[in-house]
Amino acid sequence: MNIAVSAPLPQTQATPPVSRARSLGRRVTLLLLLPSTLWFLLMLLMPLVIILVFSFGERSAVGGYGGGLTLENYLNLGSRAQAFWNTLTLAPLGTLACLLAAYPLAYFLAVKVRSNKSLLLTLVIVPFWTSFLIRTYAWIFILSGKGIPALLETFGIADVRLINTPWAVLIGIVYGYLPLMVFPIYVTLEKLDKRLLEASGDLGASGFETFRRITLPLSAPGVITGVMLVFILLMGEFLIPAILGGGKVFFVGNALVDLFLQSRNWPFGSAVAMTLVAMMLAIIGLYLKLAARFGGPRNDGVL
């Protein structure tokens, strides 16, 4: 007796509800990101493309962009060497000065303060309630002959000149950018597990050893974030050198203002700007490597 066994019919597998939900979620996410992506391409990349095109052109007879294709603008960057030198020296020094001033303050606010912390944090950001221009102008009086030099003269220290010097620019940088350095470091230290500090002390480590081996490495993401925030902004700074430097301490930002608004040499100004952008991309690349090495800035919730 033969029994015929028929092959099972293929079954159509329906898409699981979870997979459909994920697919729909990805589509909704892409749809929501589309406006911001287009805005990013339009408002950030397009101006850079235009500046790049300008940098290979020539200045017209009446100023501005006159077309053409030449490398002369890049070959003449040496004429702005002093502006690049001032930027590449004073920007790192100003960033370092901000870090040295901000870290103790952030550590005090995050670790030592137990009460009135909100009030102290508010005092840190109070300068931002006033125009940056007005606050910088106030330092002209403080650093001029009737300010700190006059005070030093009463103690027998005469002929001290601060205004229109690199020292005045550094002081203005620390004053203007200190809060931007304080808060990333503060956020990192605030999230630091205090039990690690207590355990280090219980194991016999000194306060300095605890700071060097635990506090400083764990606060590195905040330090890196604060350093990059300040340094990137300083690379394009022009207001502080213009006011406190008195035209004697020129940054690349001041050169760009002169080339675009005064001499109207847009192609040469574009070449200077693109060189600055290339330098910043190299610095950001270094930042990403350091951030990856120390766990990245996302671990501290700052960026």
For residue 178, what are the CA distances in angstroms to 95, 99, 184, 234, 237?
9, 8, 11, 12, 15
Model confidence pLDDT, tens digit, residues 237-285: 999 999 999 888 999 999 999 999 999 999 999 999 999 999 988 888 8
Rounded CA gap, 103 and 293, in Å?
21
Question: How many domains would you assign to the chain?
Answer: 1
Q: Please give the pLDDT value at position 16.
A: 63
Q: Is the pLDDT of residue 234 over 90?
A: yes
Rg of the chain in Å (alpha carbons): 28
Q: Is the pLDDT of residue 197 over 80?
A: no
Percent of the chain with pLDDT over 90: 44
Number of helices (H), then strands (E), in the chain: 15, 0
Percent of the chain with pLDDT over 70: 90
Q: Please give the pLDDT value at position 28.
A: 83
Indicate whether 73 belongs to any domain.
Answer: no
Q: Please give the pLDDT value at position 273.
A: 95
Q: Give the residue ranges of DSSP H helices in 14-147.
A: 17-40, 46-55, 72-75, 81-107, 117-125, 132-143
Query: At 136, is the secondary structure helix, strand, or coil?
Result: helix
Indicate whether 191 belongs to any domain.
Answer: yes
| CATH number of the domain residue 235 falls in | 1.10.3720.10
Indicate whether 60 belongs to any domain.
Answer: no
Q: Please give the pLDDT value at position 295.
A: 55
Model confidence pLDDT, tens digit, residues 8-37: 555 545 456 667 778 777 888 888 888 888
Indicate whether 119 belongs to any domain.
Answer: yes
Indicate whether 8 belongs to any domain.
Answer: no
Domain that holds residue 117: 79-300
19-33, 75-89, 181-195, 262-276: which has the minimum mean pLDDT? 19-33
Q: Please give the pLDDT value at position 256.
A: 94
Query: At 192, is the secondary structure helix, strand, or coil?
Result: coil
Rounded CA gap, 265 and 54, in Å?
10
Indicate whether 83 belongs to any domain.
Answer: yes
Q: Please give the pLDDT value at position 13.
A: 52
Q: Is the pLDDT of residue 1 over 50?
A: no
Indicate whether 224 belongs to any domain.
Answer: yes
Indicate whether 145 belongs to any domain.
Answer: yes
Burial class (CB in 10 A: 0-12, 13-18, 19+), 196: middle
Q: Is the pLDDT of residue 202 over 80?
A: no
Closest by CA to 174, choosing from 239, 94, 229, is 94
Q: Please give the pLDDT value at position 101.
A: 95
Residue with the larger pLDDT of the pair 12 and 191: 191
Closest by CA to 183, choosing from 119, 129, 106, 114, is 106
